[in-house]
Amino acid sequence: MGEQPYRSGFVSLIGRPNVGKSTLLNAFVGRKVAITSRKPQTTRNAIRGVITGDGWQIVFIDTPGLHKPKTLLGERLNDVVHHTLREVDAIVFMLDATQPVGSGDEFVARAVLNTHTPAICVVNKMDAARNEQLVPQLQAAEELGDWKEIIPVSAARGTNVGRLQGLLVEQLPEGTQYYPDGMVTDQPRDVLLAEIVREKALQLTRQEIPHSIAVRTEEVIERDDEILEIHATVFVERESQKGIVIGKGGAMLKEIGTRARQDLEWLLGQKVFLVLQVKVQKDWQRDPRALQRLGY
Ligand SMILES: Nc1nc2c(ncn2[C@@H]2O[C@H](COP(=O)(O)OP(=O)(O)OP(=O)(O)O)[C@@H](O)[C@H]2O)c(=O)[nH]1
Ligand SMILES: [Mg+2]
């Protein structure tokens, strides 16, 4: 018997907003590389997460939820999805087990099937669905398209994530190892820092504010006392939003900072001193130059 060839490839996670794509990415790599939240359109960039096994490597590409765009930012997010769809070896198409399959899912399914790339359908959040809900959902998934497999998963609990990984490895072509052993993401550190701050801001704000928030890391200082000093700016679109994000007597901004610092210290294994400021960048979601400056 000859040696097994090395298998490797790119797999994108696709679905409408909030189905759990980023949660699944984190479950695969075993670390937070993508932020998650209950608010739709959390993810704004194609984030790579890598898992390396014995004789294989999967490079996952988490994508923004595909949706009907209302702003230039929304259009950009959809462009990111369509772009990644063209360059992957396999696709994980995701549905939410707790939500009826609707036109949003049909729209995404069509985009996936049009690529003629092997696609596995994941029905996520099985932990939150009753059996009477899950069975018809799996049937609805089958009617949506011609999937290689349909598998119920709980990204939050890790149920069936290993099985899904095995199915994906089978789809990979022969290839080379793209990333060194142990590397789980190519996301620059400064981007991850800003994203963690944005995640906390999303958790603590509501209505239109989560969509209006962008965060940029301004400066990171490795201090002599081993503390990592991070300066970041939270951008909002209007003066009124600035007041809300800062909060009464600065309480909101302080809470965002405390939560972010705790996560960052845990992620980096280092003490962190986090300095946040809030700035208005008027209507940045619709402004091409502002989008560019904010990395979108
Ligand atoms: N109960 C349950 N909740 C989940 C599961 N997976 C994700 N969630 C929750 O669903 C919400 C959305 O998860 P995300 O991972 O941010 O979803 P997403 O598809 O990346 O969303 P966008 O980036 O906005 O497109 C979060 O509140 C998650 O905690 C799961 O398996 N079970
Ligand atoms: Mg996401």
Q: What is the pLDDT of residues 130-147, one digit of tens each?
A: 999 999 999 999 999 999
Ligand 2 center–CA 143 separation, angstroms: 25
Whole-angstrom distance, CA of residue 108 vs CA of residue 112: 6
For the CA of 154, the closest atom of ligand 1 is 31
Residues 6+ apart with CB under 8 A from 3: none
pTM, entire model: 0.97
Helix axes 72-86, 103-113, angle to 10 degrees: 40
| Size (the chain), residues | 296
pLDDT of residue 55: 96
Whole-angstrom distance, CA of residue 59 vs CA of residue 50: 5
- Is the beta carbon of 128 within 6 A of some atom in ligand 1? yes
Say which residue the tokens 């990171």 belong to.
220
3-state SS class at 160: coil
- Is the beta carbon of 64 within 6 A of some atom in ligand 1? yes
The whole-chain average pLDDT of the chain stands at: 96
Closest ligand (CA of 21) = 1
Ligand 1 center–CA 65 separation, angstroms: 11
- In this structure, the residue with its CA closest to atom 10 of ligand 1 is 20
Closest ligand (CA of 64) = 1
Q: What is the pLDDT of residues 242-262, one digit of tens each?
A: 999 999 999 999 999 999 999
For the CA of 26, the closest atom of ligand 1 is 15
Q: Where does 15-130 have alpha helices with state H?
A: 21-29, 72-86, 103-113
For the CA of 62, the closest atom of ligand 1 is 20
Taken in order of first residue, the domains within the chain and their CATH numbers are 7-171 (3.40.50.300), 189-293 (3.30.300.20)
**Percentage with pLDDT > 90 across the chain:** 99
Q: How confident is the model at residue 3 (pLDDT cuts 50, 70, 90)?
A: confident
Q: How confident is the model at residue 193 (pLDDT cuts 50, 70, 90)?
A: very high
- Is the beta carbon of 124 within 6 A of some atom in ligand 1? yes
